[in-house]
Amino acid sequence: MKRIIRKFSLLILAVSLFTVSYSQNPSTIILESQLTDIDGEIVQNAALKTSLTIINSAGEQCFEREEFTTTNNQGIFQLSLQDFAPLFINNFESGPVVIQLTIVSNDNGKWLEEDEFEVKYLLKSEIFDGFMEYSITRMEGQKLNYEYQSDIWMFTDIYYFAYIKTMFLLSFNDDITDPESLLLAAKSMFDKPEAVEADEAIESPAPPPSRGIKGGYAVGGYNKTDDDSEGDGGDDDN
């Protein structure tokens, strides 16, 4: 009887360890961003130099890459990441992963008033009801919306009064490990996020974290001018 109980206990422990370590690190990340100028106009066909840096949960730099790219006629560009070092080092009590994107205009475009534009995101993991949950928060405090299916996570960044709105696709699925497959899978699984009016978004609170498909829009942002701040009141929601 004791032997049976011990074997059962070992089985429970093994299952528990598998649950904790399962899908701990993504194999592929796609970052898709849409650029707008200070007036909210889409920046079409603009040449850019992008710099992407990732700091893992132990506070060590695990990825860095510079890339020249061009926005399309919708102001969108994509970056895909593979073969990077693990992002989450410890299963428990690990710090957030920092994703830092820096953009420099490569064609002397007037849309970017500063020399460069930088945005940071915090990617976090935690165990929730026995499953690994992930969240991404913009450094200004906005928690991104997400949808989840088949170990693929899509995070959408609806952030007003800023140059950039970003979608992240993360694959923890061992069968979907290249960017093309990830994009095709996401297209079939998720509704592509659509732009909404700012007033409509403010009425919709961010959803609480739980496993499954979620909707609604998270709200956050900063106003780039004093006049905008007085008129829109975007900072009051943070």
Burial degree of 80 (CB within 10 A; 0-12, 13-18, 19+): middle
Looking at residue 171, what is its pLDDT? 95
Q: State the pLDDT at residue 161.
A: 60
CB atoms < 10 A from the CB of 146, how many?
A: 22
Spatial contact of 30 and 78, defined as CB atoms under 8 Å apart: yes
Prediction pTM value: 0.70
Q: Are 173 and 189 in contact (CB under 8 A)?
A: no
Q: Where would I find the H helices in the chain? A: 2-21, 179-189, 198-202, 226-232
Contact 62, 54 (CB under 8 A): yes
In a structure prediction context, what are the per-residue pLDDT tens digits for the chain, which is 238 residues long? 555 444 434 333 333 333 333 447 899 999 999 998 888 889 999 999 999 999 999 999 999 999 999 999 999 999 999 989 999 987 555 689 999 999 998 766 678 777 788 999 999 988 878 788 899 999 888 899 999 999 999 999 876 667 888 999 999 998 999 999 999 999 999 975 544 333 333 333 333 333 333 333 333 333 334 444 444 444 444 4
